């Protein structure tokens, strides 16, 4: 991929109460109140859009699924058509929650594996495969989320776009050299110290189905290539995602309100936002989970059953 050299975007303006509302490539940065949600709701209802929410609940992480689904029912895409796509190795442990009107729960069973490779590669492979083979026929947008999160306030159609990413609160407002990009030049996830826009969380991203297919396919193939050469990246959950979004700019970016973690320290840049704006927590990590920890259990492509 060809490289472009340019100054890093600023999220906050020094000595000012202003924060960035738009990227240099004219993508909106979504903070609470950025859009009139009533107007957006009407537009999306007229289009009769449907949204797929993809989540993996394998191994011990099945324990988080009930909280995830209950809060999604309360706050996620209220008044719109939603399909919950739940990938799990324990279908019998999926909570018996009746979705509200216009919503459907789809359980996709997968078998656990003792494969030593990080399960991230399988999640990307599965999302890529199903996006092309099934999701594109059933929903208009996909939102991919970690199961160990809860929805705390309304998360609606303001997030929907061709391709969106979410700013990671731990790296909010930091210079490029301080971002946790992969720095091994031989890795497919490599980003040099003089490149980069923002650091995106791997726990909440999405967009149009085929755009999500392209993103997850890149992550899957790039990780496969690195593994073929025995290259281990530090943060596989986010390194390949950030590489893709560097060269395939998201059309909408969600503020750290959409992926907050109460255990994270407050950086100077984020403290300015808290002081001037106040923080409305929309999506939050469970405070007792490690935000860097990956899901447990592996997935084997081709071993799903639908209930």
**pLDDT tens digit string along 199-244?**
999 999 999 999 999 999 999 999 999 999 999 998 998 999 999 9
Query: Do 167 and 256 meet the contact criterion of CB atoms below 8 Å apart?
Result: yes
305 band by pLDDT with thresholds 50, 70 and 90: very low
What was the pLDDT predicted at 302?
Answer: 38
Supply the pLDDT for residue 285: 81
Predicted confidence (pLDDT) at residue 291 exceeds the cutoff of 50: no
* pLDDT at res. 152: 94
Segment 291-307 shows an average pLDDT of 38
Residue listed under structure tokens 């110290």: 193
**Catalytic residues, which ones?**
238
Report yes or no: 304 and 109 within 8 Å, Cβ to Cβ.
Answer: yes
- Cβ atoms of residues 163 and 211 within 8 Å: yes
Name the band, by pLDDT with cuts 50, 70 and 90, for residue 1: low
Determine contact, residues 113/299, Cβ cutoff 8 Å: yes
What is the per-residue pLDDT for 9? 58
213 is in an annotated binding site: no
CA distance 8 to 222: 25
- pLDDT for position 272: 62
**Per-residue pLDDT at 269 exceeds 60:** no
Q: Tell me what pLDDT residue 191 has.
A: 97
Q: What is the pLDDT of residues 106-139, one digit of tens each?
A: 999 986 654 435 678 889 999 999 999 999 999 9
* Eight-state DSSP code of residue 11: S
Give pLDDT tens digits for 6-45. 566 555 443 335 678 899 999 999 999 899 999 999 999 9
Tell me the domain boundaries of the chain: 29-306
**pLDDT: is 100 or 19 the higher one?**
100
Residue 89 marked as a ligand binder: no
pLDDT of the residue at 114: 45
238 among annotated binding-site residues: yes
Architecture label for domain 29-306: Alpha-Beta Complex (3.90)
pLDDT of residue 174: 87
Is 286 part of any known ligand binding site? no
Instruction: Classify strands 81-88 and 103-109 as parallel, antiparallel or unpaired.
Output: parallel
Tokens 């599965």: give the residue.
Answer: 126
pLDDT at position 147 over 60? yes
How far is CA 209 from each of CA 2, 115, 138, rounded to the nearest angstrom? 25, 28, 10
Cα distance between residue 198 and residue 282, in whole Å: 20
Range with the poorest average pLDDT among 54-63, 92-101, 121-130, 255-264: 255-264
pLDDT of residue 33: 87
Q: What is the pLDDT of residue 78?
A: 97
**Which residue shows structure tokens 């996830």?**
189
Confidence at residue 293, expressed as pLDDT on a 0 to 100 scale: 40
């Amino acid at each position: 991929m060809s490289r472009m050299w340019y100054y890093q975007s600023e999220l906050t303006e020094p000595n000012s109460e202003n924060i960035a509302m738009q990227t240099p490539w004219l993508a909106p940065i979504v903070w609470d109140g950025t859009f009139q949600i009533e107007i957006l709701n009407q537009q999306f209802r007229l289009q009769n859009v449907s949204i797929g929410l993809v989540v993996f609940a394998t191994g011990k992480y099945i324990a988080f699924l009930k909280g995830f689904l209950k809060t999604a029912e309360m706050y996620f895409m209220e008044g719109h058509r939603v399909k919950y796509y739940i990938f799990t190795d324990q279908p019998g442990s999926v909570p018996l929650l009746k979705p509200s009107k216009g919503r459907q729960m789809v359980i996709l069973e997968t078998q656990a594996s003792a494969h030593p490779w990080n399960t991230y590669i399988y999640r990307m492979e599965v999302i890529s495969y199903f996006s092309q083979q099934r999701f594109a026929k059933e929903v208009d947008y996909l939102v991919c989320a970690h199961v160990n999160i809860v929805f705390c306030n309304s998360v609606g159609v303001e997030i929907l776009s061709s391709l969106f990413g979410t700013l990671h609160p731990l790296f909010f407002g930091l210079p490029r050299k301080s971002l946790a990009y992969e720095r091994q030049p031989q890795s497919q996830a490599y980003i040099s110290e003089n490149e980069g826009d923002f650091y995106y969380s791997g726990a909440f991203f999405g967009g149009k189905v085929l755009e999500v297919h392209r993103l997850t396919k890149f992550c899957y193939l790039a990780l496969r290539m690195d593994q073929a050469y025995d290259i281990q990246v530090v943060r596989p959950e986010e390194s390949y995602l950030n590489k893709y979004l560097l060269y395939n700019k998201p059309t909408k970016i969600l503020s750290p309100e959409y992926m907050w973690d109460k255990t994270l320290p407050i950086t100077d840049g984020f403290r300015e936002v808290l002081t001037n704006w106040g923080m409305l927590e929309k999506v939050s990590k469970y405070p007792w989970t490690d935000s860097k920890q990956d899901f447990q259990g592996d997935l084997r492509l081709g071993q799903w059953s639908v209930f």
